[in-house]
A and B are shown apart, each in its own frame.
Chain A
């Protein structure tokens, strides 16, 4: 990747560096949020355009990714305000005896992605924020305006759902424990 030009102003330099450093992560987060490559690209582009307008609000480099994720979530919510898509919500209740049923290996990446795509948004979103955004429970709680305990429960259930889906398939395929 060519270096950023020196005679560009500092704000422009910061912006370009941010785009180059974080656009891929942001795209992946947008994909898991929207489950659509096209929507994800639009979301990322719109997020960075908005980020440029508010770049002065960004205080340090470490908070850039959570900041962008917050903007992207807002853009995603706006998108859904304009156009509501049909979503399939899965059953929230997890059987207690399956609570800690953890497969030894969870199959290949494609299987994990399939399972992830089937997760309801309320589980998929915090999980993506934690795994891709590197955000803690408290940070996710602040960004989503929830209690940390509620976020903890969502993350717990998200992984349990994944394990259940992957474990079930593994068992059907001959069991991989």
Chain B
């Protein structure tokens, strides 16, 4: 390293502890050591001048306050957006609930059960109706039986279930009254069982309408027998299929 290089490097990096620089400083006879000393003193002055700029009082605290305020504002913003999201979810659930309640309230099982409080006396009747009386009940609703009515029909009446015209029947089997509501023209897609307000029932899709069979505390066998009996009476006896003989 020559003196020019040394002085250039020391001027650019006075505090450098590079071994080559220090070796040149210690060995040079051309005045590089005094140059190095002057450079150090000059750097002392520069450092103290640059670092001597007074810092405003409370600068750190003001920065922390600004940060805390910014964070808190962010928290409030995040909390508000969470609350808005939660409210949206609640509203959505509420809406779904209302729709479900409306749909459930207008279902055939709901309408059938709601019809019963005015017809409870019909469950206590025990005198069998004649086939002609039963047939007359269906004629009143523009419907005809295609097969024999089940035995033990104790009540027949043309009623309205919700908005649907219906034939209201009570069949007493094994001393258990079973209600059958046939709504001609009211089509449904599939059969389904229900349990509602103390009533066990079944909604049965027929070719010309819908049959709802229900009872309070009747055995499953009785329900099945009554449902089968009314299905065959309304749609006609089921033709035996191959393998069913």
Residue ranges of A at the interface with B (Cβ–Cβ < 8 Å) = 1, 15-16, 19-20, 23-24, 27-28, 31-32, 37, 41, 44-45, 48-49, 52, 99-100, 102-107, 109-110, 112-113, 116, 127-128, 130-132, 136-137, 152-153, 155-156, 159-160, 162-163
> What 0/1 readout, one digit per residue, does chain B (9-48) give for beta carbons within 8 Å of chain A?
1011110000000000000000000010011011101111
Give which listed residue, A23, A48, A105, A155, contacts B45 with CB less than 8 A. A105
Rounded to whole Å, the gap between the CB of B61 and the closest CB of chain A is 9
B71 to chain A, nearest CB (A): 8
Please state if A104 and B53 are interface contacts (CB–CB under 8 Å).
no
Q: When the two chains form their complex, are residues B11 and A100 in contact, meaning their CB atoms are under 8 A apart?
A: yes
Known: A19-B60, A109-B49, A116-B49. A159 touches B11 (CB 8 A): yes
- B50 / chain A contacts, CB cutoff of 8 Å: 28, 32, 112-113, 116, 128, 131-132
* Residues of B close to A16: CB separation below 8 A: 64
Return B33 CB to nearest CB of chain A, in Å: 13
Contact B13 A155 (CB under 8 A): yes
Can you add 8 more A-B contacts, CB < 8 Å, to A99-B7, A116-B46, A159-B11? A37-B56, A44-B63, A45-B63, A49-B67, A109-B45, A152-B12, A152-B13, A155-B11
Which residues of chain B have a CB within 8 Å of any CB of chain A?
Answer: 7-9, 11-14, 35, 38-39, 41-43, 45-53, 55-56, 59-60, 62-64, 66-67, 70-71
Contact A137 B13 (CB under 8 A): yes
A163 to B10, CA, bound (A): 14
Q: What are 7 sample pairs from A and B whose C-beta atoms fall under 8 A apart? A: A44-B63, A45-B63, A99-B7, A107-B45, A112-B49, A113-B53, A159-B42
Question: Known: A31-B53, A41-B59, A109-B45. Contact between A15 and B11, CB under 8 A?
Answer: no
CB proximity of B158 to chain A, nearest CB, Å = 76
Decide: B12 and A15 in contact? CB cutoff 8 A.
Answer: no
What does DSSP make chain A's interface, helix, strand, loop or mixed? helix
Nearest CB of A to B45, in Å: 4
Complex Cα distance, B64 from A15, in Å, reads 9
Q: How far is the CB of B84 from chain A (nearest CB, A)?
A: 24
| Shortest distance from the beta carbon of A154 to any chain B beta carbon, whole Å | 8
Q: Which residues from chain B contact A45 at a C-beta distance below 8 Å?
A: 62-63, 66
A77 → B minimal CB distance (Å) = 21
Partner of B56, one of A41, A130, A137: A41
With A105-B45, A163-B42 known to touch, is A23 a contact of B13 (CB < 8 Å)? no
Which B residues are CB-close (under 8 A) to A28?
50-51, 53, 55
In the bound complex, what is the Cα–Cα distance between A19 and B9 (angstroms)? 34
Instruction: Report the nearest A residue to B62, measured CB to CB.
Output: A45
